[in-house]
Chains A and B, each alone.
Chain A
């Protein structure tokens, strides 16, 4: 096993495109490091440079204190699980797994012993004689894992290994890959665009955007202390709600003006209150996680300054919780980061976001307790048709937007009252290192 260091590594293609820009990343021995980010963020390029499949334009790549920039993939002692598995189609499962061992000139008996042992561990014993064509997606995935494991390499690389599996199998393999990794205590670099995979599997997660590393941290730190707006809006499902707000001071406490409503920011809800002081009187991006918004109907004692009023546009009852899509008057945050993440999901989302911004409609997603009775208002005769309907699970990673029918008239309904709970977790998002950027002139 080994540690891996990216020391200012960059990749510039012939056409001048910077896929990876000055990447500094220290991966510890035995660590499960996840590289995550939207398409084109450079995560796969970084992985391929580590594998030796892509030349390094600048910087140094160090495996076990040895600079390997010029070392060919054959000599790096690295195993990789490819997105499409890249199993040799003309070889049986056994021969696929034995391929690397044969090259190492390991004795036949030992190869057989090692392959069979790993096959037993990952449940492939009965399939050793089969060709990849005769395997299911999940079985192929296992073979690809087995082929990597059996070599006992210094570092495992995995390039979106679960993305070709169906949803159920993906969840199952997620825990299986984690389990195997922890048993082997193997240094692993795992690339994915799925932030749920990143959060559930990684010891640490490195989030990248446009070739630049945004933040490396444990999943929980990434979730609770995002370093910038991009990290904040990328991590989390459903995504963090981001509103434009005016920060003000009212009778000693910080308040945020959202549209025509005022929300009190109690000191314990703010990560760095002193830092925030500088932004009083300016427009800021206020972030609230969906689970930090509660149905005020269930909490009758909530003070009025912690309540916001909004219209329920749609609900998704999931049994244990209720995902409510609400609408407030106000403006959604529209920065490059938000647009980029939205575009990564669905191109049409941006146009809708911008339309709503123009109409001062602020869509937010809340995760209510199952006891919540929030529902989309029933249709009433004479209701006004609203163009540019809002029913959707925008920015909910991994979820498709519900199809909207052209003949689906959305009507204005009664207002539900909701509340941001005073818990410490329910803090507005506040950047820690880079100053909270006032978004006085957001790009629209």
Chain B
């Protein structure tokens, strides 16, 4: 080994140790566990082959968790992205106020658990302020988190409100990279604001939009804490009512730390990872995220 190779190895060593200890080993260990019946109380497990995966495909609650999560992601990302894009474009074309940008990210700065508790109180069917105001404008009280049909849209709404400003800020940063000249050229070509948005802003924002979408989709698949806290209040069970909000992460958490079935929980995690990799890859491909028309 030459001196340079040795030196290189030496410099790489700290990162390599970190990578192995904190990333590679846990991943491999997790995958290994998914092929065992490891029990947290027994603190031991035997190799069971693909039994966990077979069980997973036969598990109605797994499919339910996937479906619930999917519903949440679609509502959350759909509305959040459109709103954030709208806010970002408004900020870009109308104001350069730092105060407005600051206010927009405020919800994102509040811890999730605090937020979940706040909304739980505000949305309470009998005591909550939201229903109070709905009543004053003549709308009857809604169950929100207590209703099987409303719980997922409500959770999505809370998280849209929380993340919208942050997403808008990311998109706004992307908009800043589009030279003003294009808008001036388009204006002189006779383009309306809406036409400019479709023919200049969207195509040139595409790489940033792709990145933001992948981050927020992966992020929203991981919804856990607000469900755990908000649906557990007032005698409810986390994931309730019924299984209506038992999202994937919550289900994994419950398998691991309520039923101590670490092997099965690991199998569910692996399935979720595979799914996320697929979703992200498809998104990046569809949006041609690697190519930018700018510069």
Interface residues of A (CB under 8 A from B): 51-53, 72-76, 78-80, 82, 84, 86-90, 99-100, 103-104, 131, 133, 147, 151
Given A89-B293, A89-B294, A90-B203, the answer on whether A74 and B192 have CB atoms closer than 8 Å is yes
- Which of B5-13, B73-81, B177-185, B270-278 lies on the face that meets chain A? B177-185
Cβ-defined contact, A99 with B199, below 8 A: yes
Residues of A within 8 A of B204 (CB): 89-90
Report the Cα distance A73→B204, complex, angstroms.
Answer: 22
Cβ-defined contact, B185 with A88, below 8 A: yes
Report the Cα distance A151→B188, complex, angstroms.
Answer: 11
Given A89-B204, A89-B293, A90-B204, the answer on whether A103 and B185 have CB atoms closer than 8 Å is no
What are 6 pairs between A and B in contact, CB < 8 Å? Answer: A76-B188, A84-B181, A88-B199, A90-B204, A99-B189, A99-B191
Report the Cα distance A303→B141, complex, angstroms.
Answer: 110
A88 CB contact (under 8 Å) in B187, B190, B195, B200: B200
Residues of B within 8 A of A78 (CB): 188
Residues of B within 8 A of A75 (CB): 190
Interface residues of B (CB under 8 A from A): 179, 181-182, 184-192, 195, 199-200, 203-204, 293-294
A74 CB contact (under 8 Å) in B181, B187, B199: B187
Report the Cα distance A6→B53, complex, angstroms.
Answer: 78
Given A86-B179, A88-B182, A89-B293, the answer on whether A73 and B203 have CB atoms closer than 8 Å is no
Cβ-defined contact, A82 with B190, below 8 A: no
Cβ-defined contact, A103 with B191, below 8 A: yes
- Smallest beta-carbon distance B291→chain A, Å: 10
Residues of B within 8 A of A73 (CB): 184, 187-188
Report the Cα distance A86→B187, complex, angstroms.
Answer: 12
The chain B residue with its CB closest to the CB of A78 is: B188
Residues of B within 8 A of A80 (CB): 184-185, 188
User: Interface majority SS on B: helix, strand, loop or mixed?
Assistant: helix
Given A99-B199, A103-B195, the answer on whether A86 and B181 have CB atoms closer than 8 Å is yes
Given A103-B189, A103-B190, the answer on whether A86 and B184 have CB atoms closer than 8 Å is yes
Report the Cα distance A103→B193, complex, angstroms.
Answer: 12
- Smallest beta-carbon distance B197→chain A, Å: 14
Cβ-defined contact, A82 with B195, below 8 A: no
The chain B residue with its CB closest to the CB of A157 is: B188
Cβ-defined contact, A74 with B184, below 8 A: no
- Smallest beta-carbon distance A114→chain B, Å: 14
Cβ-defined contact, B190 with A53, below 8 A: no
- Smallest beta-carbon distance B208→chain A, Å: 14
Cβ-defined contact, B185 with A82, below 8 A: yes
Cβ-defined contact, A53 with B293, below 8 A: no
The chain B residue with its CB closest to the CB of A76 is: B188
Cβ-defined contact, B203 with A99, below 8 A: no
Residues of B within 8 A of A74 (CB): 187-188, 190-192
Residues of A within 8 A of B179 (CB): 84, 86
- Smallest beta-carbon distance A28→chain B, Å: 22
15 further A-B pairs in the complex, CB-CB below 8 A; given A86-B184, A88-B182, A104-B190: A73-B184, A74-B192, A75-B190, A79-B189, A80-B188, A82-B181, A86-B179, A88-B186, A88-B200, A100-B188, A103-B189, A103-B190, A103-B191, A133-B293, A147-B189
Residues of B within 8 A of A82 (CB): 181, 184-185
Report the Cα distance A79→B185, complex, angstroms.
Answer: 8
Cβ-defined contact, A151 with B187, below 8 A: no
Cβ-defined contact, A52 with B187, below 8 A: yes
Cβ-defined contact, A100 with B189, below 8 A: yes
Report the Cα distance A82→B185, complex, angstroms.
Answer: 8
The 3 closest A-B CB pairs, nearest first, are A100-B189, A86-B181, A90-B293
B188 CB contact (under 8 Å) in A51, A88, A131, A133: A51
Report the Cα distance A379→B199, complex, angstroms.
Answer: 67
- Smallest beta-carbon distance A53→chain B, Å: 5
Cβ-defined contact, A86 with B190, below 8 A: no
- Smallest beta-carbon distance A280→chain B, Å: 55
- Smallest beta-carbon distance A120→chain B, Å: 21
